[in-house]
Amino acid sequence: MSEFSPKLKKSLQEKLKLLCIHGYRQNGEAFRQKTGSFRKIIGKWADFTYVTAPHKVIKVDTDANINIGQSPDTEQFGWFFNRDDHTYRGIRKGGPAIGFEESLRFIEDTFKEHGPFDGIVSFSQGGCFTGLLCDLQQRNLTKCKFNFVIFFSAFKSDCLPHKKYYSDKITIPSLHVFGENDEIIPKEMSADLSECFEDPVVLKHSGGHFVAANSQQKPIYKEFIQERFLEKLQNEEDELDD
């Protein structure tokens, strides 16, 4: 790392700070457990902060048929609901976005109290929510400021209040990971979200609705996060030179 100043080299001990946003019917601790292998891959360069959405899931949509792979005793939360009975399905077309503004304020408060964060790691509905954050950031309509995003099984929101989003290409660096055999969020929905970004990195795997982190994905994860780490160092070097 000889291209960086001695003062800046000290910051090499500081890792990227990542905010981790869970999926629907999960919580922060459940998402932490499900990203264990992923954290091991990039842990050399990143620290992780997990939060739990502000809306508790009381009623489960019996038509959703979602196997979230966790204990039924686990408290379940979501970022917003797209039906008046306070349920949510990612594949549902139209509908409201009940609780979205409250979740946005919650995340903005999280950035203020625990940030700054360099990037966001998100899964499923959390990825849907993060995609909306990216759009808001690009249009300077949120207090959240971050430099990259990693999506797992994410998708565009089809809620009626969100139709105004995704009109312009989002320029923030993004990595989109999704399964070819995802039965919860079809791969086409995740691909549609990736197309909202300029120069997205797309990583498909043969599995379903989960955080894939094996030897096949490992090189891509390391390359993406190392690039973000070096970008941060270079930006800090440029600021010192100004």
pLDDT digit string (tens) for 45-102?
999 999 999 999 987 765 443 444 444 557 899 999 999 999 999 999 999 999 999 9
CA distance 161 to 187: 24
Kindly list the catalytic residues. Answer: 124, 182, 209
Among candidate residues 22, 30, 103, 24, the one with its CA nearest the CA of residue 61: 24
φ/ψ region of 237 (left if φ > 0, alpha if ψ in -120 to 50, else beta) reads alpha
Residue 129 sits at φ, ψ, to 5 deg, of -60, -40
pLDDT score for 69: 46
Q: Out of 3.40.50.720, 3.40.50.280, 3.20.20.80, 3.40.50.1820, which CATH number does the structure's domain 14-56+71-241 have?
A: 3.40.50.1820
pLDDT score for 74: 75
In angstroms, what is the C-alpha Rg of the chain?
18
Mean pLDDT, consecutive 10-residue stretches, the chain (242 aa), reads 50 84 97 97 97 92 47 81 95 96 98 97 98 97 97 98 95 98 97 98 97 96 96 79 59
Among candidate residues 113, 132, 117, 112, the one with its CA nearest the CA of residue 228: 117
Write down the domain spans for the chain: 14-56+71-241
Q: What is the distance, to the nearest Å, from the Cα of residue 63 to the centroid of all Cα atoms in its chain?
A: 26
Among candidate residues 97, 133, 147, 130, the one with its CA nearest the CA of residue 21: 130
Q: What is the distance, to the nearest Å, from the Cα of residue 167 to the centroid of all Cα atoms in its chain?
A: 20
Number of C-beta neighbours around residue 75 at 10 A: 12
Q: What is the distance, to the nearest Å, from the Cα of residue 163 to the centroid of all Cα atoms in its chain?
A: 20
